[in-house]
Amino acid sequence: MADVKSSGLLPGSSPPRSRFRWRVPLTLIALCALFNLHPLQIEFLDDTSSSLCPQPSTLVPEKNGALWANLTALHGTDAFLHRAVDQLSAAVQIPTETYDGMGPVGEDPRWASRDPFVDHLVTAFPRVHASLDLQKVNTYGLVYTWQGSDDSLKPILLMGHYDVVPVAPLSADQWTHPAYSGYFDGEYIWGRGSTDDKSGVIGILMAIEGLLEKDFAPTRTVVLSFGFDEEASGYHGAASLAPALLERFGRNAFAMIIDEGGGYNEQYGAIFAAPGIAEKGYIDVSIEVQTPGGHSSIPPDHTSIGILAALIVHLENNAPPPVLELDTPPFEMAQCLGTHGPDAPRKLKRAVRRARKSKRALKEAERILFEDRKFRSLVRTTQPVDLVNGGVKSNALPEQAVAVVNHRITTQSSINATLTRDRDILLDLAAHFNLSVTAYGQLLTPPAESDSYAGTLTLSAPRGLEPAPIASSSAPPFRLLSGTILASLDATYGADVNKKQVFVTPGMETFNTDTRYFWDLSDHILRYAHWNGGIGKSHTVDESIRADSFVGIITFITTLILNADEATSL
């Protein structure tokens, strides 16, 4: 059996590809000769040492190597591609829309849209339903258990969700192909859910169906958990699935959990796959201003809408600054990008190597990396104002105006720190407008007893989520996943992707997945979807996925199951 060893080298794998690029100037060689030094005794400024971002070997199954080779060869055929396209297309054609504020299952009729999809899975994957135990949780949550032969091995848990965001009626006619057509144009599969996340659910089931067709029987138990309302925070789906799994398997029962998340794309001249080892927290803060009403012909200097606008601008002008901190997931990513990206700026390569010992170098890395808005958002608590409401008539002073600020909380912060920061920033400006302030249920400043009394400011935050625990990028589960990613890309595209080198870097999700409910089930929760993030769309008009990228998902899940089955130290 393959064993994930502490050295990071994985048996059953090809030799690690070299990550060293020595460029020794002739003058330096001459100096070495003069002082009788070997060139490798010198620390070169442009040495991209792999110790900053160690890379795994490509991990292929050993005991089941012949089976893996047979299946990956099958995945490369046109016949299999069309089979995969047909499966995903059929799933996309079944609308499973999730709306905010849906009532309990059994009471809200909109949940019934799940019935045709669940029924479809039974006929689409006959071997899965004949060989795996299926438990339904809260009617539409699906737990499949593929029992392994060795109960001493911790099972792995593969997650996904089959609900989708609604298609806005006003944009329905803007789709190139209808949103629920599942149309295949020879390259892309079109439709809502083709990426998020029916490709994940169908990819998992296709991988297992394929293994069953080859009579594979697992040594390590494999559990699947499919939610049905992830797009509305999983309050009915994952929130019910996680307790059911905890009761059945126990705390920290799973060797690793894999859910949707980052994929792979090109950066700095290389392909980087970025499994999420962390996930930001979440809190919505409501800012409500109330002022006396009246006829708009006799207005005060500032209406409630005007005051709210000033508060919003003040909050935006005092946003949390982005900071690249050592020993955080974004810093690990920065090290990988700077170390292995062939087109990374020379100054970035130098900065990430020196960052641990030099604050100046860390700031230089910040300066370069923060030119990318997406990377900048990783290292700060974000605070977009996404909802605003106020006023009822053009000639009536608005008595109430409300804005909702959506915070995604960085791993170095917390809900309490975020709420406190908002309160403190807005307090001084509230005093300027003579507003009494109630923050999160506590009256901070009482109403003024004067004719200049303007109104009230109320801050509220009904529900939040702390940043997720950070999984170790040096632990066996992450190394196994990394080696599996490399093997899967090799099997799908050859030794490289578009003639570029492939690397794995720890990543972090800026959004929240169903794993928010699963923290007690494993210390190794990793978020990775294995699709090309540089192509395709999700959550918008013309959501689509390349067919070969979807086949790659099936290859990845197949490889992951086989590799995990042989690993003895997970």
Binding site for Zn(2+), by residue number, is: 161, 196, 231, 259, 539
> Residue 138: left (phi > 0), alpha (psi -120 to 50), or beta?
left
Separation of alpha carbons 136 and 138, rounded Å: 7
From the list 223, 228, 226, the residue with the least C-alpha distance to 248 is: 223
Q: What is the dihedral of CA 232, 236, 242, 248, to 10 degrees?
A: -160
The answer to whether residue 332 is catalytic is no
Do residues 404 and 387 make contact, with C-beta atoms less than 8 angstroms apart?
Answer: yes
Q: If you write DSSP's letter for every residue of 402-431 in order, what string do you get?
A: EEEEEEEE-TT--HHHHHHHHHHHHHHHHH
88: three-class secondary structure by DSSP = helix
End-to-end C-alpha distance for the chain, whole angstroms:
12
Separation of alpha carbons 418 and 431, rounded Å: 21
Contacts of 327 (CB under 8 A, 6+ apart): none
Give, to the nearest 10 degrees, the angle between helix 547-566 and helix 78-92.
Answer: 100
State the SS3 of 31-48: HHHHCCCCHHHCCCCCCC
Give, to the nearest 10 degrees, the angle between helix 547-566 and helix 65-75.
Answer: 170
Angle of CA points 474, 522, 96, to nearest 5°:
115
The answer to whether residue 230 is catalytic is yes
Per-residue CA distances from 293 to 45, 68, 300 (Å): 67, 72, 10
Residue 455 burial class via C-beta count within 10 angstroms: exposed 0-12, middle 13-18, buried 19 and up: buried
Say which amino acid occupies 90: A
Give, to the nearest 10 degrees, the angle between helix 547-566 and helix 198-213.
Answer: 60
Residues making up the annotated binding site are: 161, 196, 231, 259, 539
Find the catalytic residue in 47, 163, 209, 229.
Answer: 163
Find the catalytic residue in 197, 209, 229, 230.
Answer: 230
Separation of alpha carbons 267 and 375, rounded Å: 12
Contacts of 218 (CB under 8 A, 6+ apart): 146, 147, 148, 149, 561, 565
Element (H, E) at 249: helix 238-249
Per-residue CA distances from 562 to 69, 474, 484 (Å): 11, 21, 10
Catalytic residues: 163, 230
